[in-house]
Every structure is written in C-alpha cells, then in structure tokens.
Amino acid sequence: MSTTRITVRGDNPYDVVVGAGVLGELPGLLGDGVRTVAVIHPAGLPEIARPVCGAIEAAGYEVVPLPVPDGEAAKSAEVAAGLWSALGRYGVTRSDAVVGVGGGATTDLAGFVAATWLRGVRVVQVPTTLLAMVDAAVGGKTGINTPEGKNLVGSFHPPVGVLCDLATLVSVPRQDYVAGLAEIIKGGFIADPAILTLVEADPAGACTPEGEHTRELIERKIQVKADVVGADLRESGLREILNYGHTLAHAIERVEDYRIRHGEAVAIGLVYAAELSRLDGRIGQDVVDRTRSILESVGLPTSYRRDAWPHLRDHMRVDKKARGAKLRFIVLDGIAQVSRLEDPAEELLEAAYGEVAR
C-alpha cells in the first residue's frame, strides 16, 4: 500500500502520513536531542501501544509507557495531573517527547499534557480509530473535560507529525468505526461534497475499513481539516466551521455523561444544525432530508429524546463557542457554503430541536 502525505500548513507545518506500516517514520519525527519518549495509551488496549513502543526502542530511545483510562474517562484534570507527576518522576525534559496512541480522547489528552509539560514539549500522534484519524489527532487542538462541559480546558499545540496506519482500523469495533463516519460526513457538508457522493454511492462500503472508497474518504476528510487548520490554527475565524453540529453534540455528550459515542452525538448535532439552517431560511428541506438520509444509510442516529431539551439548553450555555451570554452556531447556506448564526432566538433553537426530537 502506498503512503500519502497531507501537509498541515501554518507557522509549524507538519505531515499527516496515511498508509500501512507508517510507524517506521516515528523515530524520524522525534527530532534531535530526544532521550526519553513517553507513550500515552489506553490501559485497556496495551496491544496497540506495543508496536509503537517497539519502534521507538529499536531506534535507541528510552520508552516510558503511560496507560490511561479508556475513552472520555481519560480526559480529566486528575488523569492529566497523574501524567505530569509521571513525567517528573521519569525525568522527561523539554528536549524529550510525548507520543499519543489510541482514539480521540487519548490523543486529546496526550496533546494537552505535551502542551503543558514544561510549557510545551513535542508530540507525535498515532491515532488508531477512524474518528481520531480524520479529526481528533489532526489540527493541534488539545483538551480535557470538566464537570461543566467538554474540552473547556485546553491548548493549541500542533504535533510534529501524525501517523495514520490504516491497518489498525481492521480491529476497530463496527459501532465505533461507524461513529467515526459522522465526522467524515460533516466534512462533506461543510467543504467537500464529493464525500457525500461517495457515501451515497456505497453506504455499506463506507461502514467498513475494507470499503472501495474507504481510503479516499479518510484522505478527503483529513485534507478538509488540514486546509482549514493551516489557515486558522487558533480558531479566530475559518476554523469555526469545523464546529458544525458540535454545539448540540457536546451538550448531548454531557447529558449522557459521555456514555454516547462522540460520532453518534455529532450525527444528531448535524441534523439539528441543518434544521436550524432551514428554519432560519438559509437552506431548503432537500438539504435537511439529504443529511438525514446519508446519516441513516450508515446506521447513525438522527434524533434524540424530546424531554432532554431543558438539560441540553443548559449545557449549551457553557459551550466553548459561546461569546458572553450569546450562542454562536455554524450553519449552512448550502452544501459547502457555511456561515455563522449569532445569538438566535430561543424560539428558533427550540423549534429546531422539535424537529430532531420528533
């Protein structure tokens, strides 16, 4: 299998390497002066960390494996503090490095710990799930959760490289893989309509790592994110479009105490954002229907329970995209035509949710 390199431009450009056997590039990303490499990985999946640790050790570095809880449970101040203590005990210096191995929660945490240890050490991300490859591990956004909301504490800290070994996707549980499709489909609606056409042409194939268009879907979504992040690392403008569907999604995750998959919450959020766009007169019913159709064709949810609205609305108030008391939504003016909706009326917000909860 050939290797594809997608460059994320900016002040500190780096490559996202997609292919099989890409771990061989890891030692070369660590740079000069590195002695110790801390490998942060899910405790429940030690097997995914072994080849990474082996590649680093074979290159002559000292490896410090640091297991963390699986999933969103890893993204807490307590877990981060434990990692800082471990880095101190093992003598990790500013010239050393951190490697994040696993899904999006692990790469978010590893990036945050790297950003905050000694005011910033280099980090390499090795995502092993579809969601992490196409979204979480790319872009330099790092963060942890608090009881008040998701990713409210974080930092912008670009990695020195991202290695996406497509072979690891074969072992990803089907529901987790399908959940990752939500972020790919989001990319189609906000920037690259070819993604939507590929999914519509073969929904069953989109749901498996062996699908005819799987690699193209992954690379197209990574390219969407690379283009946006390269132009706006710190989310001062363009990068906000990547939040399409996420305001409601993050609120759902909080209501569910993170027991729902991120991609499943995003899928519901995409329908909500489309309904909001339609009710505000920006798009027609056809775009909303297409949103539902594509998501449902791959088995993603498109509705949520009606009685949850008061709780969801409360959590949306502390969404990190809000400004003061005003909510900001990314909405569609058409396929791949994105704009912002500032401080929408409560009646509009509730009416849009009524369409999601029907």
| Beta carbons of 27 and 62 less than 8 angstroms apart | no
Mean pLDDT of the chain: 95
Q: Could you tell me if residue 222 is inside a domain?
A: no
Looking at the structure, tell me whether residues 110 and 188 fall in a common domain: no
Q: What percent of the chain has pLDDT over 90?
A: 89
Residue 288 in tokens: 């909303």
74 has binding-site annotation: yes
Q: Could you tell me if residue 221 is inside a domain?
A: no
Looking at the structure, tell me whether residues 94 and 64 fall in a common domain: yes
At 195-204, the pLDDT tens digits run 999 999 999 9
221 has binding-site annotation: no
4 has binding-site annotation: no
307 has binding-site annotation: no
CATH code of the domain containing 145 = 3.40.50.1970
71 has binding-site annotation: yes
Mean pLDDT of 18-38: 93
Instruction: Choose the weakest-confidence range: 19-28, 228-237, 326-335.
Output: 228-237
Mean pLDDT of 331-344: 96
Looking at the structure, tell me whether residues 307 and 163 fall in a common domain: no
pTM above 0.85, yes or no: yes
Looking at the structure, tell me whether residues 266 and 311 fall in a common domain: yes
Is the pLDDT at 326 greater than 90? The verdict is no
Q: Could you tell me if residue 228 is inside a domain?
A: no
* Nearest alpha-carbon partner for 267 in 283, 253, 286: 253
Looking at the structure, tell me whether residues 137 and 10 fall in a common domain: yes
- The residues annotated as belonging to the active site are 119, 141, 183, 225, 235, 239, 243, 246, 250, 262
Looking at the structure, tell me whether residues 139 and 255 fall in a common domain: no
72 has binding-site annotation: yes
| Beta carbons of 300 and 252 less than 8 angstroms apart | no
Of 150, 171, 192, the last residue of a domain is 171
Domain extent for 18: 4-171
For residue 8, report the phi and psi dihedrals to the nearest 5 degrees. -95, 110
Q: Could you tell me if residue 203 is inside a domain?
A: yes
DSSP structure class, residue 55? H
**d(C-alpha 216, C-alpha 257), whole Å:** 34
Q: Could you tell me if residue 336 is inside a domain?
A: yes
Is the pLDDT at 321 greater than 70? The verdict is no
Looking at the structure, tell me whether residues 14 and 159 fall in a common domain: yes
247 has binding-site annotation: no
At 47-93, the pLDDT tens digits run 999 999 999 999 999 999 999 999 999 999 999 999 999 999 999 99
At 215-241, the pLDDT tens digits run 999 999 999 999 999 887 787 788 899
129 has binding-site annotation: yes
Is the pLDDT at 323 greater than 80? The verdict is no
| 79 vs 32, residue with greater confidence | 79
Q: Could you tell me if residue 215 is inside a domain?
A: no
- Predicted pLDDT of residue 320: 56
Residues counted in the chain: 358
116 has binding-site annotation: no
Instruction: Count other Cβ atoms within 10 Å, centred on residue 285.
Output: 10
Of 171, 198, 226, the last residue of a domain is 171
Looking at the structure, tell me whether residues 298 and 324 fall in a common domain: yes
Looking at the structure, tell me whether residues 153 and 179 fall in a common domain: no
Task: Return the ∠ at Cα 266 (arms to 260 and 269), rounded to 5°.
Answer: 115
Is the pLDDT at 207 greater than 90? The verdict is yes
Looking at the structure, tell me whether residues 150 and 184 fall in a common domain: no
How many domains does the chain contain in total? 2
Looking at the structure, tell me whether residues 88 and 140 fall in a common domain: yes
Amino acid making up residue 280? D
- Predicted pLDDT of residue 32: 86
Q: Could you tell me if residue 214 is inside a domain?
A: no
pLDDT band at 120 (very low <50, low <70, confident <90, very high): very high
pLDDT band at 1 (very low <50, low <70, confident <90, very high): low
pLDDT band at 325 (very low <50, low <70, confident <90, very high): low
- Predicted pLDDT of residue 55: 94
Sign of CA dihedral 219, 222, 224, 227: negative
**DSSP symbols for 224-270:** HHHHHHHH-TT-SSGGGGGGTTHHHHHHHHHHTTT-S-HHHHHHHHH
321 has binding-site annotation: no
CATH code of the domain containing 316 = 1.20.1090.10
Name the one residue in this structure whose structure tokens are 């780096």: 14
Looking at the structure, tell me whether residues 100 and 129 fall in a common domain: yes
3-class DSSP assignment, residue 186: helix
- Predicted pLDDT of residue 297: 98
Of 144, 171, 198, the last residue of a domain is 171
